[in-house]
């Protein structure tokens, strides 16, 4: 059994503890947070023995095999390096780091000390993401020509209210502010299809009315961007105002095109109008209906096997990460992809700042 410790006892830490226990390959031996009340509320609810307010002390006393870091991103470099130097493998919440330079520090140290590092790019491991992985592996889509990614969020939801009601919230200190905390969800899906020569164009703006608070009004809430890497392009939309709140990806290949809906957990092929004349227009709707029907029954099967809960994707990711540690399997998220995401975010931030 892996000895696992968690640094950062906020809301997301519950998900980490629950999935670690569900996997059954590790024991959470300690939690740590600078705020003692946060430590106590998590440790008492989850029955965790080790309770610390000092990360260095926790590493010395508990000597964990793996450390999960679930703190705001400005602390990730220091904490990840501390854990790596203590001989631990590290799993980091997104954003992985504030900049690509910071990400490089973590990844370089992990390579030097021979330890594994990963990041919670969980949506790649949702059922449609795993199906896309299988299709790409067998070349069913051909060469990827274009990807279109859409991510929505609600400013009146838990995340939005926390940020908009508190000008001192850590999101306001991020270089990319509101978008910096969600861009990983968007870019992690496309990182495998672009290179390190990516060109970026960006448009960011605030659609909501001014509030009179300069900190809040400095937050753009709509983002559009275009990426180009060789012969592949990516378009992205992050919206606080589009309804319904969407989370989707379209992958256009030279052989076929698929559309993923991460909210409904579906993947269907795009309509292929193959029959002649107007009669041919009757069939695609039924073909797609059949595809959605199959997706629905697959999801019923996942539900019956208790594999349909909200953080099932994190469970799959953590299982693969622990495989990489214990079985020397491949990294679930290659370090090159982690760094690529951070580099593109850097470029998007520069574009956003130029418009401010």
Choose among 117, 122, 169: nearest CA to 12: 122
* Rounded Cα–Cα distance for residues 220 and 79 (Å): 30
Which tens digits make up the pLDDT trace of 115-139? Answer: 999 999 999 999 999 999 999 999 9
Four-way CATH pick for 124-312+340-355: 1.10.3470, 3.30.360, 1.10.10, 2.30.29? 3.30.360
Rounded to two decimals, what is the model's pTM?
0.94
Q: Parallel, antiparallel, or unpaired: how do β-strands 2-7 and 66-69 relate? A: parallel
Number of C-beta neighbours around residue 108 at 10 A = 12
Domain parsing of the chain, residue ranges: 2-119, 124-312+340-355
Quick one: average pLDDT of 258-282?
84
Burial class of residue 134 (count of CB atoms within 10 Å of its CB; 0-12, 13-18, 19+):
exposed
Over residues 329-341, the mean pLDDT reads 96
Its CATH class, for the domain covering 2-119, is alpha beta
Whether the CB-CB separation of 224 and 181 falls below 8 Å is answered with no
Average pLDDT over residues 305-326: 96
pLDDT digits (tens, 9 = 90+) for 39-72: 999 999 999 999 999 999 999 999 999 999 999 9
């Amino acid at each position: 059994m892996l000895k696992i410790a968690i640094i950062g006892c906020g809301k997301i830490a519950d998900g980490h503890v629950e999935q670690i226990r569900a996997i059954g390959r590790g024991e959470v031996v300690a939690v740590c947070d600078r705020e003692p009340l946060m430590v106590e509320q998590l440790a008492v609810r989850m029955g965790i023995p080790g309770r610390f307010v000092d990360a260095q002390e926790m590493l010395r006393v508990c000597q964990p095999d793996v450390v999960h870091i679930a703190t705001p991103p400005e602390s990730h470099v220091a904490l990840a390096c501390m854990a790596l130097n203590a001989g631990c493998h590290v799993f980091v919440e997104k954003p992985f780091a504030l900049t690509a330079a910071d990400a490089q520090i973590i990844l370089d140290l992990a390579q030097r000390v021979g330890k594994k590092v990963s990041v919670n790019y969980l949506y790649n491991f949702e059922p449609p993401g795993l199906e896309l992985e299988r299709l790409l592996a067998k070349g069913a889509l051909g060469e990827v020509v274009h990807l279109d990614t859409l991510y929505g969020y609600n400013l009146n939801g838990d995340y939005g209210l926390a940020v908009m009601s508190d000008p001192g919230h850590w999101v306001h200190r991020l270089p990319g502010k509101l978008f910096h905390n969600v861009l990983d969800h968007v870019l992690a899906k496309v990182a495998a299809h672009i290179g390190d020569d990516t060109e970026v164009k960006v448009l960011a703006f605030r659609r909501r009315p001014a509030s009179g608070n300069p900190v809040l009004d400095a937050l753009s809430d709509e983002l559009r961007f275009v990426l180009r890497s060789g012969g592949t392009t990516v378009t992205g939309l992050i919206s606080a105002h589009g309804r319904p709140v969407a989370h989707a990806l379209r992958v256009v290949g030279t052989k076929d095109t698929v559309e993923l809906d991460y909210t409904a957990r579906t993947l269907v092929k795009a309509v292929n109008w193959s029959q002649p004349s107007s009669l041919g227009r009757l069939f695609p709707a039924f073909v797609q209906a059949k595809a959605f029907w199959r997706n629905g029954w697959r999801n019923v099967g996942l539900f019956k096997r208790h594999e349909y809960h909200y953080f099932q994707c994190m469970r799959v990711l953590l299982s693969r990460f622990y495989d990489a540690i214990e079985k020397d399997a491949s990294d679930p998220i290659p370090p090159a992809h982690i760094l690529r995401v951070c580099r593109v975010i850097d470029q998007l931030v520069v574009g956003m700042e130029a418009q401010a």
